[in-house]
Amino acid sequence: MSSSDVDLEAEKYEKHREAGEILAQVREEAAERVEVGTTQLEVAEYAEDRIRELGGEPAFPVNISVDEEAAHATPAADDDTEFGEEMVNLDIGVHIDGWIADTAITVDLSGNPDLKEASEEALQAAIEMVEPGVETGDIGAEIESVIDGYGYNPVVNLTGHGLDQYQQHVSPNIPNRAVSQGVELEVGDVVAIEPFATDGTGKVTEGNDEEIFALEREGSVRDRQARKALEQITEEFKTLPFAQRWLDVPRAEMALRRLKMNNIVHGYPVLKEDDGKLVSQKEHTLIVTEDGCEVTTESN
């Protein structure tokens, strides 16, 4: 089947669209709740519950990354951390039967509107380039150029990505800088483009905190709590990331530790900007069409 024969009305694309529609609404509602004095957990649980109310499921735990954090931060079950005068990135995902929409927005409480604008403008410029045959490296060059124009740096070791059923990160990768070896986008590709801008040098490294996990492989464990946790993970979350606070087992931390020791699950350490500088982020999911693209996570 040639790429021009892709049926963009097929059920999987309808589910991507439905997930995107729910997500656009939840993103706006959650962003409005980010204010000084509100807890991170309130916002995360509000968004996750609202996704379910509207008929979707969270594709991953709501990521709430603050200041130098770029990704993989989510509050623990007993976390009472409040927002201060900070730069806050909300990264939220929804799936319908495993078909995913992924979006992110920066809420700036820190007084750095230009940094927020840099990632927004870069995303808009990238979306305008998308069509069949465009190279991902050229999209990265455009993102880099826009962020550079604001006097900031893109985060070079984080990329946009393809989305597949129950798979949150598949090819093609969409870089946030110019690269010579890109791939051509094709009709029917579903991709998330997510520029990150920073006033640091533009690299992230892993911190020590880990609250998000995903199934690595099937396996068996002797410990009863770990077995119970594994049952819930394989039935409910499959290969999608989940939060420790989502597990309905006593001593979830211990159960997860056992599963990690057996290489059955892996964790996602929080990613932080190397220089401890601020990071902004903006992300949309889109479907590549014959004459451009359809953004599934745009607000109506």
Active site residues: 91, 102, 161, 169, 194, 283
Query: How would you label 16-40 residue by residue, b for 16+ Cβ within 10 Å and e otherwise?
Result: bbbbbbbbbbbbeebbeebeeeeeb
Strand-pair partners of 196: 281
Phi–psi pair at 139, nearest 5 degrees = -65, -45
Provide the CB-side half-sphere exposure for 287 (13 A, CA). 25
Please, which residues have CB within 8 angstroms of residue 123's CB and are 6 or more apart in sequence? Answer: 143, 193, 194, 195, 282, 283, 284
User: What is the Cα–Cα distance from 250 to 229, expressed in whole angstroms?
Assistant: 9
User: What is the Cα–Cα distance from 219 to 14, expressed in whole angstroms?
Assistant: 34
